[in-house]
Amino acid sequence: MSQAGWTRREFGGGVALLAAVVGMPAVVATLSKQDDADAPSDRQRTMIRDVSQLVIPRTATPGAGDVGVGDFVILALAHGLDKSRAPLVRDTASAAASGYLRSDGSLRHLDWLEAELDRAANGDWMGKPEPRRAAILTRLDADAYAAKDHPWKTVKGLILTGYYTSQTGGAQELRYELTPGRFEPAVAAKPGERAYSSDWTAVDFG
């Protein structure tokens, strides 16, 4: 993808990322809803990459920002994954969030998140030292999960989904075993043992 900004061709071509998660028919059905206005600014693309990296930082395996989860989130939001294009619940929409609604009542999550982080930073969130940026994001996370509905929950959920359905998250951070494999009704788990990415009943992205 162009570092200078997304073209319409690049934006549409990224649908292949979503196909791996929601299935091609669902993706094709949402193409008619694609809006050029949902293409991110360069700053927003960098922001969501950095936010993704803070949510899942680099350890023994690459972090979410390292593997391109930010771009996945951009596409997922544009195509309505995880009900991100549903009208925002008015009772839970703050005045700040209400300023970033589309005509159909859905939220422009990237615009909202960019403004929310800058507001909490009293200026340029991206220009702050990493510990300060992490502290601001941690506070946003705590506030979000203290509320019944909050836009950050959608963004964070997509970051987790994008990472754990990527090759790195699904085969390196988690263990992968090709199914069906051998059925074992009870398997002892050792402390620190990683979950299996192919065990969808045990993977909680929330």
Q: pLDDT tens digits for 14-65?
A: 444 454 444 433 333 343 345 677 788 999 999 999 999 999 999 999 999 9
Domain boundaries, the chain: 8-173
Tens digit of each residue's pLDDT (9 = 90 or more) over 150-190: 999 999 999 999 998 888 888 888 776 666 567 677 777 78
Tokens 């050029």 locate to 36
CA distances from 10 to 1, 65, 117 (A): 6, 19, 27
**Cβ(51)–Cβ(136) under 8 Å?**
no
Q: What is the mean pLDDT of the chain?
A: 79
**Omega into 180 within 30° of 0, i.e. cis?**
yes
Q: What's the average model confidence in pLDDT over 71-87? A: 90
